[in-house]
Amino acid sequence: MSKKQLFVLILSSLVILFCLMVTWEFLLEPYINSASGTEEESYSERWEYVLTSMTLAALALLIPIWQGLKQIARNVETDRLLKEGEKKFHQAQKLEALGTMINGIAHELNNVLQGIFLYGEILENQISDEKSKTSLKAIMDNTEHAKKIVSQIMIFSHQSETNFKTYSLQSILRESIELQRALMSSQFEIIEEYKADRSQIRCDLIQMQQILMNLYNNAHSAMPDGGKLTIRLKEIISPDENGRGVAKQGQTFLELSISDTGVGMDEETLQKVFDPFFTTKEIGEGTGLGMSVTHGLIEQMGGTITVTSEKGVGSTFTIHLPIICD
């Protein structure tokens, strides 16, 4: 209960008490005392009248106050939803503006990098000494890394080509987890829970694999000393029922949650986790585009992604994607 609601409740209680005291003092008590002590039946009838009157008076006061409190509660909930919607709208505007701005830069950079890579391949066939080859390999590796960054930027700005088809999310998950088992050390435990009878979604396979890799890498970075990675998939009827407010009532969705037992995030980090170019990694270790790209790709698929986290406990990313019915 908010401070405003508590104040209104206390004030309402005081008003009811005051009204009942006035009613008793000036109307009901004189009425009772006017009865003769020998007229027991009349006295009893007057007491019954008093109690009935007091009850009706209390109800007459309580009903509008109760209606007012319910209206306050509705207003508070409406304000919360409006603020949440406004925040999402500003986030979408910010991402759209950034996408438009950096798209042109990404194309220009891609052209430059293609030229560097091409000439590097030509030089690779022309030089013979090992020292020069080592230096050239470093140039080629860094160029390749830069191309991947540009590729992520183009995905972020929604300019990359997509090939949407119907796939089984459960199958994609199983394949990606097998790869993770091979990459992760014995310090990590991977738990899988599948509770979905249907798992058909419409997506770009490469993009879906990138989403999963981004989330796995994020979990891996959050657990430097090892830990537990839990992947859960289940079918739900409309995320609205869970208070997430991301779908029309009655729609069937897949809920995919990826949880880690890592270091977790504080509130400030949590608010920025999907912002482009935001990273908690050291300089040179991350581009800050992984989560913003993931957010954008999931929205392209008609889904949503949310995150909850607790410092020192871990984080959970929850994705909702619409099920494609056969």
Cα 241 to chain centroid distance, Å, stands at 15
The whole-number pLDDT of residue 245 equals 43
Q: Which residue has the tokens 């607790």?
A: 310
The whole-number pLDDT of residue 234 equals 93
The whole-number pLDDT of residue 20 equals 61
Q: In the chain, pLDDT over 70 holds for what percent of residues? A: 63
> How, if at all, do strands 200-204 and 188-195 pair?
unpaired
Given a contact cutoff of 8 angstroms between Cβ atoms, the answer to whether 228 and 260 are in contact is yes
Per-residue pLDDT tens over the stretch 79-126: 777 887 777 677 667 666 666 666 667 767 777 888 888 888 888 888
The whole-number pLDDT of residue 237 equals 80
In whole angstroms, give the CA distance from residue 279 to residue 291: 9
The whole-number pLDDT of residue 36 equals 47
| Phi-psi map region of 102: left, alpha, beta (phi>0 left; psi -120 to 50 alpha) | alpha
Asked if the model's pLDDT at residue 242 lies above 50, the reply is: no
What residues pair up with 227 in beta bridges, in sequence order?
188
* CB neighbourhood size of 88 (10 A): 13
The whole-model pTM stands at 0.55
Question: In which band, very low, low, confident or very high, does the pLDDT at 273 lie, cut at 50, 70 and 90?
Answer: confident
Residue, of 2 and 245, whose pLDDT is higher: 2
The whole-number pLDDT of residue 321 equals 93
Question: In which band, very low, low, confident or very high, does the pLDDT at 16 lie, cut at 50, 70 and 90?
Answer: low
Supply 146's token pair. 């830069």
DSSP H helices, the chain, are 3-23, 29-33, 40-124, 130-156, 169-183, 205-222, 267-272, 290-300
Cα 137 to chain centroid distance, Å, stands at 42
Given a contact cutoff of 8 angstroms between Cβ atoms, the answer to whether 235 and 195 are in contact is yes
Q: Rounded to the nearest 5 degrees, what angle is found at the Cα of 150, between the Cα atoms of 145 and 152?
A: 95
* CB neighbourhood size of 247 (10 A): 20
In whole angstroms, give the CA distance from residue 275 to residue 9: 41
Residue positions counted in the chain: 326
Name the maximum alpha-carbon separation found in the chain: 128
In whole angstroms, give the CA distance from residue 210 to residue 221: 16
Q: Rounded to the nearest 5 degrees, what angle is found at the Cα of 101, between the Cα atoms of 97 and 107?
A: 140
The whole-number pLDDT of residue 252 equals 86
| Phi-psi map region of 245: left, alpha, beta (phi>0 left; psi -120 to 50 alpha) | left
Question: In which band, very low, low, confident or very high, does the pLDDT at 317 lie, cut at 50, 70 and 90?
Answer: very high
In whole angstroms, give the CA distance from residue 61 to residue 75: 22
